[in-house]
Amino acid sequence: MDKNKKDNFKKLWWIVFAILIIVLVVILFTGNNSYGDKITPKGFTEMINTDQVGEVYYYGGVFRITKVDSDKKLPNSSDFYCEVATSATQENLINLITSKNIDYTEQQIKESFLETIMPYISLFVILIIAYFIFRAITKGGQGSMGFGKSKARATDNIKVRFSDVAGADEEKAELEEVVEFLKNPQKFTNLGARIPKGVLLVGPPGTGKTLLAKAVAGESNVPFLSISGSDFVEMFVGVGASRVRDLFDQAKKSRPCIIFIDEIDAVGRQRGTGLGGGNDEREQTLNQLLVEMDGFEANEGIIVLAATNRSDVLDPALLRPGRFDRQIYVHVPDVKGRESIIKIHARNKPLDDDIDFKVLARITSGFTGADIENMLNEASILAARANRPKIIMSDLTEGINKVIMGPQKKSRLVTDRDKKITTYHESGHAILGKLLENCDEVQEVSIIPRGMAAGYTMSRPSEDDQHMTYNKLNDQIAMCMGGRIAEQIVFGDISTGASNDIQHATDIARKMVTEWGMSNRLGFIGYDTSTQPFLGRDYQNQSKYSEETAAIIDEEIRGILDYNYKRAYKLLEENRLIMDKMSELLIIKETIYKEEVDMLMEGKSVDEIVAEMDKKAEILKEKEEKGRKDNEYLRKLNDLNNKLKTAEMLLKAGVVTKKEYDQLVDNKNEIEKEYENHKQNAEKQEVEVAENVNENKSENGENKEPEKKVRRPRTKKTASENDTVKKDKVQKLNEKMVKTTKKPKKTDKND
């Protein structure tokens, strides 16, 4: 019987014991009622008058009665009993009994020995139970209830290996030393080396910190004790510290081993930061953890791994050498790492042959390992929903969008006016994304509501930028303003749809001025406000600059925003024709992709683009139909193979005839022949489609080298030039919103 089963058995025994005590008390207090049937004083009087009463015994306000010729003997038992409420009734009944010469005995109340001591016994039992509960709480779980015992889950056979972890090559190299020490500690001790007692894994959520810890345990093949930081904290005083002691006691019995504390910031926050700097239960738990990691007792063979995404709030004593000697930052994977992660998560998923892992890695910039796993899972669900045998590229792109922005809201009712506003709004973003040199590549433009947005323009970087330059930040701000400016140019009015764009642009401009030193007036100075994440430390932000400086900061932010607003306005005004075409295309198709955006920028008509999109949709439909037929043929063949195996056994047993068996074989051969013909016909169709596509590309000149992005001025005005009232309205609104400001001078382009 293992330790957990023993603890559960003890708890069960105490529950049974308590139930038995309660039952005993109830039995003793209720006792055995031998008084007989109850009668009223009136009924008792009638029995006396009719000479039915043989003997009467009075005790404690109750008349106990035996009938004439009854075999019961008082005071042990009786046939009837009568309770009296008043002394007058009692006196009348006694006088009547005496007048009839009935045997009558009166006795004072005397309690039995058990009845006398039973309250004291009950109190004693309650005190014993309370004592054991109090001992279990205060002695750290050494008692029967186990409040102070560690909740660590011990695992001996971890199957995760370093080969299951991708996108973290440097992190794995750091942890391989830990594995080597656990396997061969003599190699290090001979050279006088000391292995780190603790390793802290720091990084954003979803980057694989817990997976790395499991891989260390799996590679070293040692016991793995895992616990969450919140498992130490309870409502009872001293329980957290007790669980820390119990955790290390378990580890010492199983060494060499690994202790893994997930989300250690729940218990390792900086001390003295509570309201009033109090000495609370969490601090006592942290103190005990510090003592166990670097105390007088040796912990050889025990390595503590911990994970957190809030290393900034941890106590400095926890991070010093001798405790967590080594801190490993688990970064968001780069493009190479994302490709490796995608390949790992796609190992057991049927992917279409056209899917390129390099392209997927490029368009998933900023994704963590958890995001990539979620993206592939969403793509699998979409493929299953469409009854496709394989996952295609459109499933993966939709999975990316769902991870970033949430699912589509196709059922949401949208008026024609709102739809038109949305088309121009998103067209403004997309066109500026193509015209501005430093903007990320536009991958998708849609007017289908998704999440909280009425539409969206999806831009993904072509490569992972380590630094954000001055020009790139300005281009991002200008692109954010594209939606609002497009509404202003086309409708002469503005909507509330740009609220998020305004917030994002303002945040970038503020950081340029206050954090990144990109203001010529303020210079190379950081003006960011310092905040403390603790309630008892600072109650509000404290500015480190004067009110005059704050006013200059506001002016510089406004200058950056106005400058980018003016140049974005000019670009969209020059490319009004393209904006009209994109709006028209979005109304027809609702969603367009990078290829369609490129064709619009090249000057192709809406009809040409719609024809190309329809052709692609038809090819995709044929491909999906082929996949469904393939899946159907494979399912039929699988069923026939199973039937043939069963029929073969029944044939040997004489249950099935040879003719019936041969009929199944013929059916299988016929379906295999049909399947082969289907594959040949499908291959011919694919070749024909590919030839047609190549011919069309040659005719349209699409095989030529792509031209560099250029700013295409509008050649034909499509707005109503004759509408003088509208033109005046637009001009007035433009003059009101666009102020003349000087272009901010560039200082240092690098972060």
Task: Report, as residue numbers or ranges, the catalytic residues.
Answer: 426
Neighbours of 98 (CB within 10 A): 10
- CA–CA dist 638, 310 (Å, integer): 53
DSSP 541: -
Structure token pair of residue 44: 């008792």
Q: Are the beta carbons of 174 and 209 closer than 8 angstroms?
A: no
With a CB cutoff of 8 Å and minimum separation 6, the contacts of 698 are none
- CA–CA dist 680, 690 (Å, integer): 16
Q: How far is CA 520 from CA 237, 471, 509, 622, in A?
A: 57, 15, 13, 59
Structure token pair of residue 356: 């390129």
List phi, psi (to 5°) of 166: -125, 160
Question: By CB neighbour count within 10 A (0-12 exposed, 13-18 middle, 19+ buried), where does 317 fall?
Answer: middle
- CA–CA dist 120, 127 (Å, integer): 11
Q: Write down how long the chain is.
A: 751
DSSP 192: T
- CA–CA dist 431, 251 (Å, integer): 61
- CA–CA dist 259, 5 (Å, integer): 22
Alpha helices in 545-605 (DSSP H): 547-574, 576-589, 594-601
DSSP one-letter string for 315-338: -HHHHSTTTS-EEEE-PPP-HHHH
Alpha carbon 417 to its chain's center: 38
DSSP 495: -
Neighbours of 154 (CB within 10 A): 17
- CA–CA dist 35, 78 (Å, integer): 5
Nearest to 55 by CA among 22, 25, 79: 79
DSSP one-letter string for 274-285: STTS---HHHHH
Three-state SS string over 612-680 comes to: HHHHHHHHHHHHHHHHHHHHHHHHHHHHHHHHHHHHHHHHHHCCCCHHHHHHHHHHHHHHHHHHHHHHH
